[in-house]
Amino acid sequence: MNDSILAASDIRKTFGDIEVVKGVTVALQPGEFVCLVGRSGSGKTTLMALLSGLERPTSGQISLCGKDIVASSEDELALFRRANIGFIFQSFQLIPTLTAWENVAVPLFPEKMAEEERRARATSLLQQMQMEHRLDHLPGTLSGGEKQRVAIARALINHPKIIFADEPTGNLDSQTGQAIIEILTTLHKQQGLTILMVTHDLELSKSADRLLRMQDGALVP
């Protein structure tokens, strides 16, 4: 547990009278690729939000990269996320008015950094994603698969210690989805990235080192 990159202990989250996450305890080791699976409404996205510091638990402790994220302020958490975490979302969540390379570089905008360096880092990642021909295109002109590649590049721009992916293939056809999973698997294997991926697709979860099943707000064996 002490070596865990992510350790959560008895975390609970209630919205009004409804307890969405019920006393979850979980740990991820560095370099692990873990899939969190469960039916729609099982609470897996809320659990991911709690574990990544996007949402605060009603009770419980969470340590991420050695930081107690429950006790941190919102701005402290923002800076922490910028330095340590990458996010990939189902709906890509690209900024529609920024080009592909600018979207990738968004986490770097608040940093004091030369524009050339930002662009070089973003371009390099987009080249890895075979998106070099789309650097200056707005998201509206990209296909779903291309948008998700841009989103993956964005998640990698700050050299994160852990990536949280929420249904990253949910809005893609199966072939494109498979390609995205291959990219994540390659990143995990080649760079030793820790990944926590939320999905309801058991087929996709086969790529993971470990499977966490969620049901009615709790992890089940």
Partner 1 sequence: MRFSYVWRELTLRRRRHLTATLGLAVGIALLIILQALAGAYQQAARAPLAEIGADITIQRSGDVPQNLQGAVFPCSAVTIRKHEVEQISRMSGVRTTGQALLLWVFDQEQFTMVMGVDPDNALGPGKLRNFVLKGRFLEGEGGQALVESTYAKEKQIEVGDTVTILDSPYPVVGLVDGSRASKIALANVYLPLSEAQALAVASPQVQGVSPFTMGDVNLVFMVADQAAIPSLAVALKTALGDKTSVATPASFLRQLGNLFALSDKFASATFGIVMVVAFLMVFKTIAGGIQERAREIGVLKCLGWTNANINAQLLAESLVLCLLAGIVGVGFAGLVCYGLSFQELHIPIPWEMSPTPHFLPGGGEPVFKTVRLPVQLSWPLIGLALILSLTVGGLTSGLCIGRITRIKPSEVLRHE
Residues that bind partner 1 (CB under 8 A): 45, 49, 54-55, 74-75, 77-83, 85, 87, 89-91, 93, 95-98, 102, 106-107, 109-110, 138, 154, 158, 166-167, 170
Q: How far apart are the first and last CA of the chain?
A: 19
CB of 60 to partner 1, least distance (A): 16
CA distance 152 to 11: 28
Minimal distance, residue 123 CB to partner 1, in Å: 16
Q: Which is nearer to partner 1, 154 or 188 (CB)?
A: 154
Task: Residue 60: name the closest of 104, 11, 133 by CA.
Answer: 11
> Least distance to partner 1 from the beta carbon of 87, Å?
5
Rounded CA-CA distance 189/33 in Å is: 9
* Half-sphere exposure at residue 53, Cβ-oriented, CA atoms within 13 angstroms: 28
User: Amino acid identity of 56?
Assistant: R
Q: Where are the alpha helices (DSSP H) in the chain?
A: 44-51, 74-84, 100-105, 115-128, 144-156, 174-191
Pairing of strands 194-199, 33-38: parallel
Shortest Å distance, C-beta 95 to partner 1 = 6
Q: Which is nearer to partner 1, 47 or 131 (CB)?
A: 47
Angle, helices 144-156 vs 115-128, to 10°: value is: 130
CB of 1 to partner 1, least distance (A): 26
Residue closer to partner 1, measured from CB, 93 or 124? 93
Q: Which is nearer to partner 1, 29 or 119 (CB)?
A: 119
- Residue number, 3 or 74, with CB nearest to partner 1: 74
